Amino acid sequence: GGTQRLPRLIGAKPALEMIVSGRHVPAPEALSLGILDALVEGDLRAEAIAFAKSVVGKPMRRISAMPPATAEPGLFEAMRKSIARRARNQQAPYHCIAAVEAAATLPFAEGMAVEKRLFGELENSDEARALRYAFFAEREVARIPFLPKDLPLPEIRSAAVVGAGTMGGGIAMGFADAGIPVKLLDASPEGLARGVARIRDNYAVSVKRGSLTQAQMDQRLPLIEPVETYEAIAECDVVIEAVFEQLDVKQAVFAELDRVMQPQAILLTNTSAIDIDKIAGATKRPEMVAGAHYFAPANVMKLLEVVEGPRTSPVVLATAMKLGRTIGKISAYAGNCDGFAANRSRIGFTMEQNLMVEEGALPEQIDKVMVDFGYPMGPFAVNDMSGLDVSYLTRRRRLAENPDYRMLPVPDRLVEAGRKGQKTGAGWYRYEPGDRTPRVDPEVHRLIREVAAEQGIAQRAFSDEEVLHRLLFASVNEVCKIIEEDKSLRASDMDVMWLNGFGFPRYRGGLMFWADGIGARAIYNQIAAWHQRYGDRWRPSALLQRIAEQDGLLREAKSPRLDGG
């Protein structure tokens, strides 16, 4: 009866926003809306008795007896239009609107009948099962069974971030948002000034949008202190390095941290792919080093991938996991390997999106397929937003480590031509000044045809289903390899990473939950066929093969470390 009572109690508009969004409503706001009768700061028992005495003998208010909620004309249609993009392919948000609309137009009993019917349509739907699975997966991900339960963990009362770029600034904002004082260090005074200005602008935008009050901004900004020397951060409890994604640069930072930080300080690196042990090796205390891989924008994205290096101590690992939760993130464990768990699981996806372009699929088709699937943006538009130069350097590093690494000439040539994405006005798409709308660029089409001809690749048309399966099956296979190598503990943990790090549509549950809808056997058979056609990059995972042969569920896969293997 909540969809019928709440609108009568507080009005249709605020009730509609609360029910459709499902957001948490703080107690003071609930009091101001009229949801609560009182807030108690002192003795709850004494206050409750006093409240009971104040209402005894008075008529009891029956919300069900109140008249239908008042609603402005056009309210419900406006809400339907406002959620159209983010609620694509979903039933529940529209059913919520219909239920509140019933509260504003029908007597209580009839509205309850509408609510019951709408709930019945949703209760056992694929969407509901996926959302329930995601809910419990996000709670399970916090559990690392091999860590002792009674570990004494240090309190984190102060933090430092090295690197005042976009990522470093976002990380600093996360600490300030949680009320933790943070020092922001950058080697360049100019870079530091730009970083602080960017933080101020980000907060100002939030205030303008109404997601933050001016008072909250004024409270958080002073918690971020710009500093210019390593000595200035020496007393901090934890430091997160967020400098350029280059091993020698990160090693130089950690050598300085080793020199100045207190022995008990926790040293975290925000690297997205580089071997944690190589970074830790720049210190005399590798046991105090772990990975803390944020996802951009760092102050917005919920995922924090916590990476255990070969020498990371259990206390440091557990503290990093707890720290993520303290600053409002979902902490997910990963083992140390190239790309760790989250980004490694995307390597095949990224490879296939680029190889399909060489084979004849255009960036705009691939992007449309993934947006229709439920992503907020397609992968090529995301690449443009993130900047093509970061992955360019990662490919160069992988080629240096493995001469057989398959390079990607199309994105490489885009970068070499100065097309690095939105920040340069052109990447896979072109962009008008001051406008982030991607526009199809015939020059990119010409470059794709040119590369295909040079490589002797015959281009062809792709169905949308083949595009979707080439992208996601590659990642399903890689997730199975990651789990069987103990680099992630559970398939459900990987689903949490995809939901909160990569924008995978939540109403589909997660990558492995979605894959179970197709079936492990069908996916294995397709991957085995592509292995024959395309070669070793499609080598099926032994874990995937075993689950397929047993007609098991991919989402229930666990690492040998948890499964006793």
Task: For residue 160, report the phi and psi dihedrals to the nearest 5 degrees.
Answer: -140, 150
Q: Are residues 394 and 279 in the same domain?
A: no
Report the CATH number at residue 384: 1.10.1040.50
Report the CATH number at residue 476: 1.10.1040.10
Identify the pLDDT of residue 168: 97
Contact 176, 223 (CB under 8 A): yes
**Residue 431: inside a domain, yes or no?**
yes
Q: What's the CA gap between 515 and 509, in Å, rounded?
A: 10
Q: Are residues 268 and 167 in the same domain?
A: yes
Contact 206, 220 (CB under 8 A): no
**DSSP letters spanning 498-513:** HHHHS---GGG--HHH
Q: Are residues 483 and 450 in the same domain?
A: no
Report the CATH number at residue 100: 3.90.226.10
Q: What's the CA gap between 430 and 49, in Å, rounded?
A: 67
Q: Are residues 503 and 440 in the same domain?
A: no
Report the CATH number at residue 274: 3.40.50.720
Identify the pLDDT of residue 491: 99
Identify the pLDDT of residue 495: 99
Q: Are residues 171 and 289 in the same domain?
A: yes
**Residue 348: inside a domain, yes or no?**
no
Task: For residue 226, report the phi and psi dihedrals to the nearest 5 degrees.
Answer: -75, 135
Give the global pTM. 0.90
**Residue 163: inside a domain, yes or no?**
yes
Q: Are residues 315 and 209 in the same domain?
A: yes
Q: Are residues 490 and 540 in the same domain?
A: yes
**Residue 41: inside a domain, yes or no?**
yes
Mean of pLDDT over the chain: 96
The DSSP 8-state label assigned to residue 558 in this structure reads B
**Residue 345: inside a domain, yes or no?**
no
Identify the pLDDT of residue 565: 57
Q: Which pair of tokens denotes residue 388?
A: 């093509």
The DSSP 8-state label assigned to residue 221 in this structure reads G
Task: Provide the domain count of the chain.
Answer: 4
Residue that is written with structure tokens 């019945």 in the block: 120
Report the greatest alpha carbon distance in the chain: 88
Tens of pLDDT, residue by residue over 193-240, are: 999 999 999 999 999 998 899 999 999 999 999 999 999 999 999 999
Q: Are residues 450 and 533 in the same domain?
A: no
Q: Which pair of tokens denotes residue 230?
A: 């390593």
Q: Are residues 115 and 194 in the same domain?
A: no
**Residue 147: inside a domain, yes or no?**
no
**Residue 130: inside a domain, yes or no?**
no
Q: Are residues 447 and 549 in the same domain?
A: no
Tens of pLDDT, residue by residue over 240-296, are: 999 998 999 999 999 999 999 999 999 999 999 899 999 999 999 999 999 999 998
**Domain endpoint, select from 455, 479, 513:** 455
**Domain endpoint, select from 392, 425, 455:** 455
Domain range holding 474?
Answer: 464-563
Identify the pLDDT of residue 449: 97
Q: Which pair of tokens denotes residue 118?
A: 């709408």
Q: Are residues 427 and 477 in the same domain?
A: no
Q: What's the CA gap between 316 and 288, in Å, rounded?
A: 6
Q: Are residues 119 and 207 in the same domain?
A: no
**Domain endpoint, select from 292, 309, 340:** 340
Average pLDDT, consecutive stretches of 10 residues, N- to C-terminus, the chain (565 residues): 96 96 90 93 91 90 92 94 90 97 96 98 95 98 94 97 96 98 97 98 95 96 98 99 95 99 99 96 99 94 98 98 98 97 96 97 98 95 91 88 91 96 96 94 98 96 98 99 98 99 96 99 99 97 98 98 77
**Residue 555: inside a domain, yes or no?**
yes
